[in-house]
Amino acid sequence: MTTGSPWFRATNEPGPEPIPVDPYGVPSPYQEPAPYQEPAPSPYPEQAYGEPQQPYQEPAQTYAEPAQSYQEPAQAYREPEPVYQAPYEAPHEDAYVPPYEPYEAAEAPRPSPGDTTVLEAVEPLPGPGRAERRRAAKGGRGKSRRGGPPTTGAGTSPTDAPAAPLSRVEARRAARAAKDSVGVVASRAVGELFITFGVVMLLFVTYQLWWTNILAGQETDRAKAKIEDTWAQGDGNDDSKPGAFEPGEGFAIMYIPKLDVVVPVAEGISKAKVLDKGMVGHYSEGSLKTAMPSDQQGNFAVAGHRNTHGEPFRYINQLKPGDPIVVETRNAYYTYEMASILPQTSPSNVSVIEPVPKGSGFSKPGRFITLTTCTPEFTSTYRMIVWGKLVDERPRSEGKPKALVG
């Protein structure tokens, strides 16, 4: 460098002469630049001049692309291959042709948004033509006319094809094998028999315990109304004459106030004509003939059901000594008081209905009443006996006795 350069001249040397300024006020391009000056000291001595207070730093983490992105599934549908259709051939008369059932195509599952697996199409297999079915019915299992693999049945895929049609002999064997054995048929028949028997028994019990009471109630209502109408018209027979009433004919009405019993009394103890109709029967036949209420001496003995068919004597075991029993006839009311009870005796013990009944506690003749019924309940193994003694006789014209009025 030369010392004569104006930029590196010593400060004590005189500078060049100033370039004259254009008289029109335009500065000259050759003006001398201003002399160099040191920059002012920084107010922060710990930092260098011109450096930034903190240097720029790259961010700790940068944005990362996702590991997987959604991919559209590949197209799953494909066109089915054409199937050769052979001309129609009549089936052999011994061949078994099963009914053709078309195959329903399953719906292809839809992929989830994050699933990248390419799903294969679920395509229905083409069904066989009519000629293929006829050929299979004849028993042919060889190659098809197209030269493909041997057919195994109605389908074209060896893995999904159904079994080959059966011949008539094979169909008969299969039908015999599908039938139930003799033991199975017998056990099924026995089970059905027991079920039927149980249903019949249930219906019979319902009829005996419920329906017979309804029918007997209707019968007793009609019999009681008929007896009262006969008395009102004055056409009834005189109960004081022996043999005045026919078997099954009603002639009196019995009241047991404590048990709320009002039941007609008919002649005889026939089960079909009297007892099963809900009425009380008077012992009046053969060796079992007993007195009538109007007789001046004797035992008026009657029988009635304890269960079913109206069950008029079901609760006579609840009677206590002194409880009234009233018998109404055409001419009078006869009031008896309960005297004693025999809880159980044999059906063949006819001494309980004698004029002076044995076991009743009566020691001499009188005017008695005897009620007989079956025991225990719902059986006819034994008989229960209730005795009473006449305490009042009142003509019907004088009104009802005190036992009924109260």
3-state secondary structure of 6: coil
d(CA 76, CA 120): 5
Q: Which residues of 127-149 are buried (b: 16+ CB within 10 A; e: fewer)?
A: ebeebbbbbbbeeeeeebeeeee
- Is the Cβ–Cβ distance between 303 and 280 less than 8 Å? yes
- Residue 374 designated active-site: yes
- End-to-end C-alpha distance for the chain, whole angstroms: 163
Taking phi over 0 as left and psi of -120 to 50 as alpha, with beta for the rest, 260 belongs to: left
Antiparallel, parallel or unpaired: β 382-395 and 367-375: antiparallel
d(CA 60, CA 37): 43
- Is the Cβ–Cβ distance between 372 and 345 less than 8 Å? no
- Is the Cβ–Cβ distance between 275 and 267 less than 8 Å? no
**Among 305, 306, 330, 367, which one carries the catalytic annotation?**
305
- Residue 141 designated active-site: no
**Among 133, 309, 367, 374, which one carries the catalytic annotation?**
374
Beta strand segments in 268-366, E: 280-282, 298-303, 324-328, 332-345
- Residue 282 designated active-site: no
Neighbours of 217 (CB within 10 A): 13
| Backbone φ and ψ of 178, nearest 5° | -75, -15
Q: Going by C-beta distance under 8 Å and a sequence separation of 6 or more, which residues neighbour residue 221? A: none
Q: Going by C-beta distance under 8 Å and a sequence separation of 6 or more, which residues neighbour residue 273? A: 247, 248, 266
d(CA 10, CA 4): 10
- CA 151 to chain CA centroid, Å, is 50
DSSP 8-state code for residue 288: G
Taking phi over 0 as left and psi of -120 to 50 as alpha, with beta for the rest, 352 belongs to: alpha
- Is the Cβ–Cβ distance between 279 and 219 less than 8 Å? yes
Neighbours of 261 (CB within 10 A): 19
- Is the Cβ–Cβ distance between 337 and 305 less than 8 Å? no
Residues with a catalytic annotation lie at 305, 374, 383
